[in-house]
Structure 1
Amino acid sequence: MHPTWLLALSWISLTVGVVSCAIVVADTYLRGHRQPVRVMEIVWLVTVLYVGPAAVRLYWNWGRPEAFSRRRQEGQPRRPRRGIVVTHVSRCGAHCALGFVVAEVALYVVRSDNAQESLWVDYAGDYLAAVTIAVLFRYFGAPGRGVTRIWRALSTVAKVELLTITAFELALFGWLTLTHRVVLPEPPLHPDSPLFWFAGQLGLIAGFIAAWPIASWQLGRARRIEPRRLPYD
């Protein structure tokens, strides 16, 4: 059995994430600070769910539309570099977080023997789900219709997001491997345990940190990692 204090810590961490998410939900839907790009509402809710209060601060400074309106009034019409990087990493992180949840739950449900070690299958499922969600997000936000719309979504993910998603996922997988093999090898962690999601939460935070320099490098290379024009530019 896992230590009681560790289970308690897991529940506390997950609860903090839920409370942080509730704060952003209230600001977005009750106070009316809706995102100009609607998909970013999902992105920020997912981000604060796994990062917690630190992501609430990031949202308040760089993700809240009101913050950019205030900067525009102060003569700063475009977002600063840090705001662009935060938005990009948060978006890619949301893809990875949603992919992690969807893939892990689906594999746990369909797997006949959950005691069998198959981390590589889990990782393949997580990565494929993350990329698929990234394409879906881009698809619903892309102009045009039919094949053209699908192609725009695929090409945007390949050119703009795939590298950041890959860096994020590698850090996540590294942490999960360390957790499963070294830190908490017995009994095995499964999605029916709060410890599993606590480990995933820490891994997603590690992924967020690892993806940051990649996004900064892309921006430094003049790689466009945001839409050409946003309503608050």
Structure 2
Amino acid sequence: MQPTWLVALSWVSLALGVVSFAIVLADTYLRGHRQPVKVMEIVWLVTVLYVGPAAVRLYWHWGRPEALSPRRREDQPRRPHRGITVTKVSRCGAHCALGFIVAEVALYAVRFDPAQHPLWITYAGDYVAAVTIAVLLRVLEGPGRSVARIWRALTAVVSVELVTITAFEAALFAWLTLAHHMIFPEVPLRPDSPTFWFAAQIGLIAGFITAWPAASWQVGRGLRAAPH
């Protein structure tokens, strides 16, 4: 039986994510502030869903202005390092968050129970799903669906995004291990409970923070996850 306070806190946290999602959704599609890179519309929606109001603020400073201004010309000054890093972490984080949702729901559908099976199985599923989604979104960014394009997308993910994705996932997995075995040992964490998704939110936020140095380092080397 889950404590009432924990269930209530979980619902509040999830509600904040949904409200944040609605704000960015309305700004993007109702107010017409579309992203020059369409994949970033998915990225920002996913980011605010798990980070909440803090990500709305990031969107307002680094996402929305990008949607309101024309594509940068070569003679214009570069965006600040921080803005590029925010975009890169948000993009890789969206891959991880979507991969987590897909893998966890799929495993739950086949009756996988983290309380009775090794957690590394879920972690492997989460990681593979995150990388797969990263490749898929890169394929969808450009014209054509040839095998060569899929290979180029895979190469780009490995060279540009894999380090940040791995740092993000490492923090997420570390938190989930603590949550399952130490923080909520008496509370079954399964996808059919709000507590599970609340714990996932915390882990994803931890991943976002942990991935920042890796993303900043890659940006410093000129490796970016998307055009800017």
Aligned to 2:59: 59
Residue type of the alignment partner of 2:200: G
Give matches, 1:24-103, under 5 Å.
24-65=24-65, 69=69, 77-103=77-103
Partner deviation per Cα, 1:96-151 (whole Å, 9 max, x = no partner): 00000110010011126665132111000000000000000001113554122111
| Aligned residues of 1:93 and 1:168 also touching (Cα < 8 A) | yes
Question: Which TM-score applies when normalising by structure 1?
Answer: 0.91
Cα RMSD of the aligned pairs, angstroms, is 2.0
Partner deviation per Cα, 1:31-84 (whole Å, 9 max, x = no partner): 0001111111000000000000000000000011457629x8xx9643211111
Cα separation, 2, equivalents of 1:223 and 1:78: 14
Is 2:116 the counterpart of 1:116? yes
Cα separation, 1, equivalents of 2:134 and 2:194: 27
Which residues of structure 2 form unaligned runs of 5+? none
| Aligned residues of 1:168 and 1:207 also touching (Cα < 8 A) | yes
| Aligned residues of 1:93 and 1:208 also touching (Cα < 8 A) | yes
Distance 1:101 1:37, change over 3 A: same
Aligned to 2:181: 181
Distance 1:190 1:224, change over 3 A: closer
Distance 1:56 1:27, change over 3 A: same
| Aligned residues of 2:91 and 2:225 also touching (Cα < 8 A) | no
Q: Give the secondary-structure state (helix, strand or coil) at the position aligned to 1:182.
A: helix
Residue type of the alignment partner of 1:54: A
Question: Which TM-score applies when normalising by structure 2?
Answer: 0.93
* Stretches (4+) displaced over 6 A: none
| Aligned residues of 1:62 and 1:86 also touching (Cα < 8 A) | yes
Cα separation, 2, equivalents of 1:32 and 1:148: 34
| Aligned residues of 1:142 and 1:153 also touching (Cα < 8 A) | no
Q: How many residues align?
A: 226
Q: How many angstroms does 1:186 deviate by?
A: 1.6
Distance 1:7 1:224, change over 3 A: closer
Is 2:21 the counterpart of 1:21? yes
Cα separation, 2, equivalents of 1:76 and 1:67: 16
Residue type of the alignment partner of 1:189: L
Aligned to 1:192: 192
- Percent of matched pairs sharing the same residue: 75
Q: How many angstroms does 1:204 deviate by?
A: 0.1
Q: Give the secondary-structure state (helix, strand or coil) at the position aligned to 2:192.
A: coil
Distance 1:112 1:120, change over 3 A: closer
Distance 1:99 1:107, change over 3 A: same
| Aligned residues of 2:100 and 2:126 also touching (Cα < 8 A) | yes
Aligned to 1:151: 151
Which residues of structure 1 form unaligned runs of 5+? none
| Aligned residues of 1:33 and 1:66 also touching (Cα < 8 A) | no
Cα separation, 1, equivalents of 2:90 and 2:20: 15
| Aligned residues of 1:35 and 1:65 also touching (Cα < 8 A) | no
Cα separation, 1, equivalents of 2:181 and 2:138: 36
